[in-house]
Chains A and B, each alone.
Chain A
Amino acid sequence: MDTAVHHPNDKASGDPLAGLTPAARRALDASHSVWLGPLKLDCGVELTRHRVAYRTYGTLNAERSNAALICHALTMDQFVADSNPVTGKEGWWLSLVGPGRPLDPAKYFVICANVLGGCMGSTGPLDINPKTGGRYNLSFPMVTIRDMVNAQAQLLDHLGIESLFCVVGGSMGGMQVLQWAASYPDRVFAALPIATAARHSAQNIAFHEVGRQAIMADPGWHGGDYGAHGTVPARGLAVARMTAHITYLSESALQRKFGRNLQDRASLGYSFDADFQVESYLHYQGKSFVERFDANAYLYITRAMDYFDLAAEYGGTLATAFRGSRTRFCVMSFTSDWLFPTHENREVVKALNAVAANVSFVEVETDKGHDAFLLDEPEMFRTLDGFLRGAANARGLK
């Protein structure tokens, strides 16, 4: 299965890859990719074709029943369990996917795709707009979480996978998991939405808006047309990342990691240089982000999260989204997560209970904040492992 798909591009209309940045090009070259479509978007625009860049691990079994889809968070990518061709870092969820891990490729066929609107090989604002011959930039249509999920569903059709064993994801990935369970109940055997919510809160929209405004205020942004101007809104994007990064941590984690410790100096510098370790850490986060992420993609994907409100799609009642669902759910939250706090995760659990769905809910005690789902949290992995084992038994997977 691993090699049975098109690679890497299609020459039907000139060079559709011409717009890609070197980073996106490297990501695409290291992925499988496939042209799919047409895809009707929530905003009303139809993409006649769109490209999905993805990675797989393991082998699809003869019954095609062991596929596990991982939905990535805002700034993650398809390189969930192998070396990232852009950053050179190891996979971002190695603790979940790997030998002896809860999603062991020896047992499961693990799939992770770059989201629609992303900048790591899937179609997004970096691509060439066939109408103009230039990059889409801001002429790229607005995408939603549901559009991302519909694009993934087309990928599964292409791979010949009717029903997924499980869909798992944290944060924005968790939103996609909920959307999957709502839009395609018969294609999802088990769903694990982690540290997420059925709608983006006003506070979270506010933080995203600060990030977007930082990008758009950067003189290098040029109305989104920075490619043509040979610039990058690097400072704005870095500020967006720095703001967002603070929301991924917790106050106690920041205090434990940095406190008020000074960076490379014995006393205060009485200047606006990075005196404190926490400042220098944020500068580093911002800078490294600019090297791997496209500013316009950041605008589009944060907007997709802001627009997410699953209940609104179902007449204002979240439970309606899950009526009649036979999916087994495991919802997980973290005590110190203030971006997607436990009570927002519980809203999902309540809605699932209201339709007597099969749901487990675990709140993991940790001081690591929202990012805990990406970190070494033994309690989380024990729970994930137990839930997946129970579900695998029910599905008859060995």
Chain B
Amino acid sequence: MSPAERGKIRLDLQLIADMIEPGTRVLDVGCGDGALLDWLQREKQVDGRGMELSQAGVNAAVANGLSVIQGDADTDLAHYPDNAFDYVVLSQTLQATHEPRRVLEQMLRVGKHAIVSFPNFAHWQVRARLVFGGRMPETDALPYKWYDTPNIHLCSIDDFRALCADMGVTIEKALTLSRHGRPLPNLPLPLANLLGGQGLFLLRRR
């Protein structure tokens, strides 16, 4: 990251960062090159850790002075003790995990809170592409061919809420974001599910 890029992070990451209390312990799962962690450490003095699948991402983050390990959300969250973190973040990665429910359980075991964002598969463009185009959806949030996508467990905002209810997880905060990660005004649930490009949730164990 160049110095000019410091101080700014992607809008959806900023919204995640806004949910995090200063001075807390944060694990960012699927942290990429560590942009969010870097910002949180500098601006909110968090004790930050990262986990990232791609070696290039890990190396970039560690070379930038961040504490990041190469690891897989599906298997490696199990190595952390209960309550090791205040927040466990999973940004735009849930849909690429093998066992999303298990990953969520692990996040809420390891962290007091979980922050999860994901592309909304019920977005009207996704629906239109499948219904009218008869093709698997490709959008800004889901920019992959069906045969070449890391996303194997896509869900809608409503699906995610249903999972949380089923797991007995408290939704402390829910934001609906546009395709570009801008927050949309408070929408009634069916509309959020239709117009939201991404869902962003702050969760807590009940």
Quick one: which of B49, B55, B68, B76 contacts A365, CB cutoff 8 A?
B55
Interface centre among A360, A361, A365, by most B CB within 10 Å?
A360
Residue of A nearest to B77 (CB): A353
When C-beta atoms are compared, the residue in chain B nearest to A389 turns out to be B65
Given A361-B70, A363-B70: A386 touches B84 (CB 8 Å cut-off): no
Interface flag for B64 (CB, 8 Å): yes
Bound together, the chains give a CA A306 to CA B67 distance in angstroms of: 31
- Chain A interface: which size bin? 20 to 34
Given contacts A330-B62, A365-B55, A385-B63, contact A360 B81 (CB under 8 A): no
Q: A328 near B: Cβ within 8 Å?
A: yes
B window 47-67: CB within 8 A of A: 47, 49, 55, 58-59, 61-67
Contacts A358-B67, A360-B67 given; does A383 touch B79 at CB 8 Å: no
Asked whether B70 lies within 8 Å of A362 as measured between CB atoms, the reply is: yes
Q: State in angstroms the CA–CA spacing of A354 and B49 once bound together.
A: 14
With a CB–CB cut-off of 8 A, which chain A residues contact B61?
A: 360
Kindly state whether residue A38 has any CB partner on chain B within 8 Å: no
Q: Give the size of the chain B interface in residues (CB under 8 angstroms).
A: 22
Q: Which listed residue (A350, A354, A358, A383) contacts B63, Cβ 8 A?
A: A383
CB of B80 closer than 8 Å to a CB of A: yes
Contacts of B108 in A (CB 8 A): none
A386/B81 in contact, CB under 8 A:
no
Interface contact B66-A390, CB-CB below 8 Å: yes
Minimal beta-carbon separation of A190 from chain B (angstroms) = 11
B191 to chain A, nearest CB (A): 41
Cβ-based interface call for B46 (8 A): no
Q: Are A353 and B79 in contact (CB under 8 A)?
A: yes
CB-CB contacts below 8 Å: A342-393 with B:
349-350, 353-356, 358-365, 379, 382-383, 385-387, 389-391, 393
In the assembled complex, how far is the CB of residue B71 from the closest CB belonging to chain A, in whole angstroms? Answer: 8
Residues of chain B contacted by A364 (CB below 8 angstroms): 59
Judging by beta carbons under 8 Å apart, are B65 and A354 in contact? no
Instruction: Flag if B59 contacts A383 (CB, 8 Å).
Output: yes
A95: shortest Cβ distance to chain B, in Å?
A: 16
Other-chain contact of B84, A349, A356, A361, A385 (Cβ < 8 Å): A356
Q: Does B195 contact A (CB under 8 A)?
A: no
Chain A residues in 8 Å Cβ range of B68: 360-361
Assess whether A362 is in contact with B81, with CB atoms less than 8 Å apart: no
Q: Does B103 contact A (CB under 8 A)?
A: no
In B69-126, the 8 Å CB interface with A consists of 69-71, 76, 79-81, 84-85
Name the A residues within 8 Å of B69 (CB-CB): 349, 353, 359-361
Inter-chain contact B64/A386, CB cutoff 8 Å: yes
Name the distance in Å between A327's Cβ and chain B's nearest Cβ: 12
* Cβ–Cβ contact B66 & A360, under 8 A: yes
Cβ 8 A contact of B79, one of A350, A360, A387, A393: A350
> 6 new A-B pairs (CB below 8 Å) besides A349-B69, A386-B64, A387-B63?
A356-B80, A360-B62, A360-B67, A385-B63, A386-B63, A387-B62
A interface residue numbers (CB < 8 A to B): 328, 330, 349-350, 353-356, 358-365, 379, 382-383, 385-387, 389-391, 393
A-B contact pairs, 15 of them (CB 8 A): A330-B62, A353-B79, A354-B79, A356-B84, A359-B67, A360-B62, A360-B66, A360-B67, A361-B58, A361-B71, A364-B59, A379-B59, A385-B63, A386-B63, A386-B65
